[in-house]
Structure 1
């Protein structure tokens, strides 16, 4: 699986250990940045990950900022993106099963590393159920 990741300076504290974990799991990673702790703007990185996902250059995207909200809003501006902010595993799983989300957004000021791994695990391993859910996705 190929995953794009990106974060602003605040999300970097989660992005870097998650990137290492992804490599350990055998995923191919495209890291669009940032790789510095200097202040930066989350829309740059949310949109960059979203473009890779929308263009099918990667299978999924995972993005990080302080709450996960701002960077997800930027990602959702790109046509074909269904980015979700999650702070617990159950919503992440259902977001994939019912909404076919293709980007997961996490907040480094909201959750820690181990919870982030649990959320990501549930999300990546869930499958879109289609059926009645597809009809709803087709509405937007």
Structure 2
């Protein structure tokens, strides 16, 4: 695959991840992902997270999602979270299917929105919910 093909593939995956973000925006809960402690619609947030995870549950393994989560939960500041983005790109590149890659790119998009300590703590809770829903819905 040449560089142009790789860029087109990344753009395609980013487009798919954007569509997932739009699903959260449609019901006005996207910003709540980064402010769970202040959210007045936690049920809607977690219901949408479950829908998202259910859609991709069998495209990424439990160990892959746990590896991502275990790295994120240890992060202490937003700079270290941002430094994890290349690791996610590597994980996405190793996936065999577009659904797994889209799932990983969506996580990368969320990371890009985290800019404060409070948002980091909310993001960790979001990742915890993703792991829990994945465990519940995945067949692997």
More strand by share: 1
Task: Return the TM-score normalized by structure 2.
Answer: 0.32
Q: Taking structure 1 as the reference length, what is the TM-score of the superposition?
A: 0.32
Query: Hey, which of these two has a bigger chunk of helix by percent?
Result: 2
